[in-house]
Amino acid sequence: MTVLDQLEQFEEEALASIHRAEDLEEIQAIRVKYLGREGLITGILRGIGDLPPDQRADVGQRGNAVKQAIESALEEAEACLERARRRAQFEAQRLDVTAPGKPWAPGNYHPLGQTFDQVLDILVSMGYAIVRGPEVEKEWYNFSGLNIQDDHPARDMQDSFYVTEDVVLRSQTSPIQLRHMQAVAPEIPVRIVGPGRTYRRDTEDMSHSPVFHQCEALLIDQEVTFGQLRWTLTAFARRLFGPSVDVRFRPSHFPFTEPSAEVDISCMFCHGQGCSTCKGSGFLEILGAGMVHPQVLINGGYDPDLVSGFAFGMGIERLTMLKYGISDLRLLYRNDTRFLAQF
């Protein structure tokens, strides 16, 4: 077989196998086999110098033509396979816009947030403005300025979180009263509500949490009476718990109010008959209240001979548990969606 015949044969074989190739790897293998550094065509072209002089020109010409033909067949096949590969890829990635979506469970508003909103809505509708105060509070605003004596148990390191000797994580929202008074005194009337997070060194259990929420309210004006406090809290409790609840004031003691009261509503679980929730009393405590102590007015920058006021404070967890009949406070913090979805 002459070299020219060999070239013919290689060309024929190469073109046939290019035609049959099914992927880019095969094409690459064919390229290497014929045109690579050790390739069959390369070998012939490289061997031209060893041929008799009269064959060299023909073999050179024919060899280059075959090389060209194989190369362009390879490129064409490559382009074709590449198009097919992309078509297949697009096909595989095709989006079915009619397919049903993945189910998506919408979240819902946390019951504590709902109670907070209701409490604030009611008080704002009564003319109270929302104000806030720091959670990391000076000892004076949290205790001394509110008339809480040095030997009061709440001041114990066991009961409150101390940041330094005279800075605490506020254990109540009552310091908001004092800060607000100082900010606006001697202006009247004052009608504010102060919601926020509060902290106490309590171990978590059914009714305690080291972090909880309170809402404080303060009203100062000329000649504010205990009767006005009663009216306000009765209206408030009926809007929050329903128009049929009875409201009861029980004498109590808070250092920053005089007189002080604890406010109960008739138990909505037994309608005052006595049940396990109200421990047989027929009533449930909802908040603490009283007439602002003259010394607290003075600390806030007011003259107790010219103005008087009332204040009340409530725990949002407690109100939420009563409103929804939740028996364990910890449920409010577990964020189990099966629980939360019920509200």
Give 147 or 257: the residue with its C-beta nearer to ligand DAH.
Answer: 257
Give 31 or 155: the residue with its C-beta nearer to ligand DAH.
Answer: 155
Which region among 18-26, 81-89, 155-163, 288-296 touches ligand DAH (by CB under 6 A)? 288-296
- Residue 141 as a binder of ligand DAH (CB under 6 A): the answer is no
- Residue 142 as a binder of ligand DAH (CB under 6 A): the answer is no
Give 23 or 204: the residue with its C-beta nearer to ligand DAH.
Answer: 204
DSSP state string for 38-53: T-HHHHHHHTGGGS-H
CA 237 to chain centre: 31
Which region among 98-106, 127-135, 219-227, 310-318 touches ligand DAH (by CB under 6 A)? 310-318
The correct pick among 115, 147, 160, 172 for binding ligand DAH (CB under 6 A) is: 172
- SS3 category, 99: coil
Which region among 48-56, 120-128, 186-194, 283-291 touches ligand DAH (by CB under 6 A)? 283-291
CA dist 11 and 68 (Å) reads: 10
Which region among 3-11, 38-46, 242-250, 307-315 touches ligand DAH (by CB under 6 A)? 307-315
The correct pick among 194, 290, 300, 309 for binding ligand DAH (CB under 6 A) is: 290
- SS3 category, 1: coil
- Residue 264 as a binder of ligand DAH (CB under 6 A): the answer is no
- Strand 190-199 to strand 129-130: parallel, antiparallel, or no bridges (unpaired)? parallel
x-marked contacts with ligand DAH along 224-263 as a string, rule CB under 6 A: ------------------------------x--x------
Which region among 74-82, 102-110, 182-190, 286-294 touches ligand DAH (by CB under 6 A)? 286-294
Expressed in percent and rounded to 5, the helix, strand and coil fractions of the chain are 45, 20, 35
Give 20 or 250: the residue with its C-beta nearer to ligand DAH.
Answer: 250
- SS3 category, 283: strand
Determine contact, residues 163/169, Cβ cutoff 8 Å: yes
Give 116 or 312: the residue with its C-beta nearer to ligand DAH.
Answer: 312
Q: Give the closest residue to 309 by CA, choosing from 227, 217, 218.
A: 218
For 255, phi then psi, to 5°, come to -65, -25
Determine contact, residues 255/148, Cβ cutoff 8 Å: yes
- Residue 174 as a binder of ligand DAH (CB under 6 A): the answer is yes
Structure tokens that stand for 50 in this block:
């060893």
Please work out the total of residues on this chain that contact ligand DAH, with binding judged by CB under 6 A.
11
Q: Which residue is nearest to ligand DAH (CB)?
A: 313
x-marked contacts with ligand DAH along 179-218 as a string, rule CB under 6 A: -------------------------------------x--
x-marked contacts with ligand DAH along 100-139 as a string, rule CB under 6 A: ----------------------------------------
For 133, phi then psi, to 5°, come to -140, 170
The strand pairing partners of 130, in sequence order, are: 193
Q: Give the closest residue to 126 by CA, choosing from 332, 334, 312.
A: 312
For 262, phi then psi, to 5°, come to -110, 140
R_g over Cα of the chain: 43
CA dist 327 and 275 (Å) reads: 13
The correct pick among 311, 319, 329, 332 for binding ligand DAH (CB under 6 A) is: 311
Query: How near is the Cβ of 256 to ligand DAH at its closest, in Å?
Result: 6
Give 36 or 304: the residue with its C-beta nearer to ligand DAH.
Answer: 304
For 83, phi then psi, to 5°, come to -60, -40
The strand pairing partners of 182, in sequence order, are: none
Name the site residues for ligand DAH (rule: CB under 6 A).
172, 174, 216, 254, 257, 288-290, 311-313
